[in-house]
């Protein structure tokens, strides 16, 4: 008897565009002509810190429901999507969270991503952003798995200020030990990110600059941003990058450097005596949307085209329904070509007043702010 073959048809992949012939030969540009170069991959929504600007304790308390493990993308799923992104032009992969080192066996994911190859045969630039709390324990294993470098978030050197800001009573000495371990393991060049908040840690600007000057570590000062809907952001809480620069220049002369890469978020400055460089990330007062080449992948498989996006595009459903690599690439290509996000530039054009609560009459703005995605979900 001749076997009857019944073609299987899975509707869950039907929202995806058909594969495009020759995809990959010509990486897509978005609606504003920006290429796709940088993918930030959030691997967990959990963190052991409760920094007020990211995961304030009053919101992320013991009743907060984190995502169940089954909702998180598995390592093979992340790697498949990263490969699809790489075929569209992504050259840099950054693991984030939450705190990415809380994800069990993160070294295994690092190993899989380190083995990826870009269309030209080279390895992707593979890095990770961490709060440093587990770095002393993990640095060597991460390096051996293929991680190239790390960025450590560190908002103060003063132990009392640091403990108050992480709101988990975590001592600064352990975070500093993590940075030292990363240096010893060869995870460099290391960057340290400091989010500066008016009246909270602005007095730490100079001590931090002095501490890292001459160490080979680039300290970057980040303007406090209105990401998410839970941190109660106010424009008055921002210490503008121009003011930070003036404070640093009163300490010692600095001169500007050219960007290290297209779309780089930090303005780079070098100490005139050759003792290293600092960065200024002026996301509020000097928007850099014009050459923003970043996409974000949430821990549950949604693609976000802007840090301030209010909705993502689900790729986990088609991925788990058996979409082919070509279908995933086509879906991502379509998303990127349609991207017109430039939140910070529009905010600046609007008078740098994204403070939804201050605009009491603007219900649309308030609603958009309230539905903004939290940084702990899509990564910073």
Residues 155-184 that bind ligand SF4 (CB under 6 A): none
Report how many residues bind ligand SF4 under the rule CB under 6 A: 11
297 scored as a contact of ligand SF4 (CB under 6 A): no
Question: Is residue 235 a contact partner of residue 353, using CB atoms and an 8 Å limit?
Answer: yes
Q: Which residues contact 278 (CB under 8 A, 6 or more apart)?
A: 209, 218, 219, 220, 221, 248, 254, 268, 269, 271
Cis previous bond, 98, omega within 30: yes
* Rounded-to-integer distance, Cα 250 and Cα 200, Å: 21
Closer CB to ligand SF4, 170 or 343, in the complex:
343
Smallest distance from ligand SF4 to CB 229, Å: 16
Smallest distance from ligand SF4 to CB 284, Å: 10
Closer CB to ligand SF4, 201 or 342, in the complex:
342
Closer CB to ligand SF4, 204 or 226, in the complex:
226
Closer CB to ligand SF4, 45 or 223, in the complex:
223
Of the candidate spans 78-86, 114-122, 249-257, 335-343, the one that interacts with ligand SF4 by CB under 6 A turns out to be: 335-343
Give the SS3 label for residue 67.
coil
Q: Give the count of beta carbons closer than 10 Å to the beta carbon of residue 75.
A: 18
304 scored as a contact of ligand SF4 (CB under 6 A): no
Query: How is residue 249 written in tokens?
Result: 């220049």
* Sheet of 38-42, strand order: 254-256, 267-271, 277-281, 218-223, 191-196, 149-153, 125-130, 92-96, 38-42, 294-297, 302-304, 313-314
185 scored as a contact of ligand SF4 (CB under 6 A): no
For the four alpha carbons of 269, 305, 229 and 298, in that order, the dihedral sign comes to: negative
Of the candidate spans 38-46, 117-125, 234-242, 339-347, the one that interacts with ligand SF4 by CB under 6 A turns out to be: 339-347
Closer CB to ligand SF4, 170 or 288, in the complex:
288
**Of positions 194, 266, 307, 356, contacts ligand SF4 by CB under 6 A:** 307
224 alpha-carbon distance from chain centroid: 15
* Rounded-to-integer distance, Cα 234 and Cα 368, Å: 16
288 scored as a contact of ligand SF4 (CB under 6 A): yes
**Of positions 343, 354, 369, 377, contacts ligand SF4 by CB under 6 A:** 343
Smallest distance from ligand SF4 to CB 344, Å: 4
Query: How is residue 323 written in tokens?
Result: 């979409």
Residues 69-108 that bind ligand SF4 (CB under 6 A): none
**Of positions 209, 292, 328, 331, contacts ligand SF4 by CB under 6 A:** 292
**Of positions 88, 289, 297, 303, contacts ligand SF4 by CB under 6 A:** 289
* Rounded-to-integer distance, Cα 323 and Cα 317, Å: 9
**Of positions 148, 344, 355, 378, contacts ligand SF4 by CB under 6 A:** 344
Which residue, 374, 379, 301, 292, is CA-closest to 341? Answer: 292
Give the SS3 label for residue 295.
strand
Q: Which residues bind ligand SF4 (CB under 6 A)?
A: 288-289, 292, 294, 306-308, 341-344
């Amino acid at each position: 008897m001749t076997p009857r073959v019944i073609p299987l048809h899975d509707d869950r992949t039907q929202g995806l565009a058909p594969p495009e012939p020759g995809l990959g030969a010509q990486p897509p540009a978005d609606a504003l002509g920006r290429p796709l170069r940088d993918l930030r991959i959030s691997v967990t929504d959990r963190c052991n810190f409760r920094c007020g600007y990211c995961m304030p304790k009053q919101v992320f308390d013991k009743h907060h429901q984190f995502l169940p493990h089954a909702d998180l993308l598995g390592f093979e799923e992340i790697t498949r999507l990263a490969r699809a992104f790489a075929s569209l032009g992504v050259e840099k992969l950054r693991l984030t969270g939450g705190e990415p080192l809380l994800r069990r066996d993160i070294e295994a994911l690092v190993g899989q991503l380190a083995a990826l190859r870009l269309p030209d045969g080279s390895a992707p630039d593979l890095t990770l952003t961490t709060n440093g709390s587990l770095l002393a324990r993990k640095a060597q294993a991460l390096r051996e798995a293929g991680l190239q470098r790390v960025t450590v978030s560190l908002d103060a050197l003063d132990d009392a200020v640091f403990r108050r800001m992480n709101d988990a009573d975590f001592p600064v000495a352990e975070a500093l030990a993590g940075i030292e371990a990363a240096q010893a393991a060869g995870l460099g060049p290391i960057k340290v990110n400091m989010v500066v908040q008016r009246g909270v840690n602005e007095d730490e600007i100079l001590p931090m600059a002095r501490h890292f000057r001459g160490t080979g570590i680039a300290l970057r000062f980040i303007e406090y941003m209105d990401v998410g809907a839970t941190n109660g952001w106010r424009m008055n809480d921002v210490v503008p990058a121009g003011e930070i620069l003036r404070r640093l220049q009163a300490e010692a002369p600095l001169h500007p450097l050219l960007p290290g890469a297209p779309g780089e978020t930090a303005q780079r400055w070098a100490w005139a005596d050759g003792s290293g460089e600092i960065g200024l990330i002026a996301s509020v007062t000097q928007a850099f949307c014009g050459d923003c080449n970043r996409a974000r992948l949430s821990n549950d498989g949604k693609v976000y085209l802007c840090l301030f996006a209010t909705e993502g595009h689900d790729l986990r459903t088609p991925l788990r329904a058996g979409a082919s690599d070509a279908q995933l690439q086509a879906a991502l290509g379509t998303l990127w070509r349609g991207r017109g996000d430039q939140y910070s530039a529009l905010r600046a054009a609007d008078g740098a007043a994204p403070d939804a609560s201050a605009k009491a009459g603007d219900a649309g703005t308030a609603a958009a702010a309230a539905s903004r995605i939290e940084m702990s979900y899509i990564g910073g």
